[in-house]
Amino acid sequence: MFSGIVHGFTKLVKIEKKDQYRTYIFKFKKYQIKNLKLGNSISHNGCCLTVSKINNNYISFDIIKETLNNTNLKILKIGEYVNFERAAKFGDEIGGHIVSGHVITMAKVKKVINQNDSYLIWLTVLNTSIMQFILHKGFICIDGISLTIAKIKKNSFCVYLIPETLRVTTIKNKRKNDYLNLEIDYFTQTIVSTVNTLTKLKKNL
């Protein structure tokens, strides 16, 4: 479990290609991986990955094809950075919202507007069926960042990014046509799906 409060960013330094998966190796700073153990989970651009090897501050993660095909990790190049978050612990402050680290789809950057050191980003959702779960003022996780939905228009929506978010994440480097990972708030999904199911049942009575 994660909170969507990014701890920083880490650089991809190596990709090892296997038959059924790839191993991505990221370079972390020592303080970022304090007490890290094999089997621990770390969110990368909102995607939960399991630590498979620790070599000083070089940390390896095995990524299956299904994950690669449904996230922007597939197009990540050596030398590029991703947002990361260590798994939440009981007793931690949840400053964002509850995030599972299971990316549901990607969105394409439609427009970036710089407004006095803060950004407004419009995103077009690739899987339009999830637009039913994207609600005004609702939570959404974008590349691992917990954000609030500001406006919605057809199959697009926008979020505001404050200076602190721009400072500690990679989203400040995103430009038009870039792809970002999305995770919809679980509670929103549950409520909307339940209401839709009950509405269909009522119509069939």
Please identify, in words, the CATH class of the domain defined by 8-86: mainly beta
Q: Are 71 and 103 in contact (CB under 8 A)?
A: yes
Per this entry, what is the length of the chain? 205
> Other CB atoms closer than 10 Å to residue 74's CB: what's the count?
14
Enumerate residues 6+ apart whose C-beta is below 8 A from 175: 109, 112
Separation in Å, CA 168 to CA 14, 50, 96: 23, 23, 15
Query: Can 8-86 and 105-186 be said to share one CATH topology?
Result: yes
**3-class DSSP assignment, residue 108:** strand
pLDDT tens by residue, 45-61: 999 999 999 999 999 99
What is this structure's pTM? 0.91
Maximum C-alpha span of the chain: 63
CATH assignment of 105-186, given 2.40.30.20, 2.40.30.10, 3.40.50.2300, 1.10.580.10?
A: 2.40.30.20
pLDDT tens by residue, 109-160: 999 998 777 789 999 999 999 999 999 999 999 999 999 999 999 899 999 9
Whether the CA torsion 52, 18, 70, 82 is positive or negative: it is: positive
Angle (CA) 56-171-35 rounded to 5° is: 25
Q: Are 21 and 184 in contact (CB under 8 A)?
A: no
Q: CA end-to-end span of the chain, whole Å?
A: 40
Percent of residues, the chain, with pLDDT higher than 70:
99
pLDDT tens by residue, 21-35: 999 999 999 999 999
Break the chain into its structural domains and give their ranges: 8-86, 105-186
Residue 81 pLDDT = 97
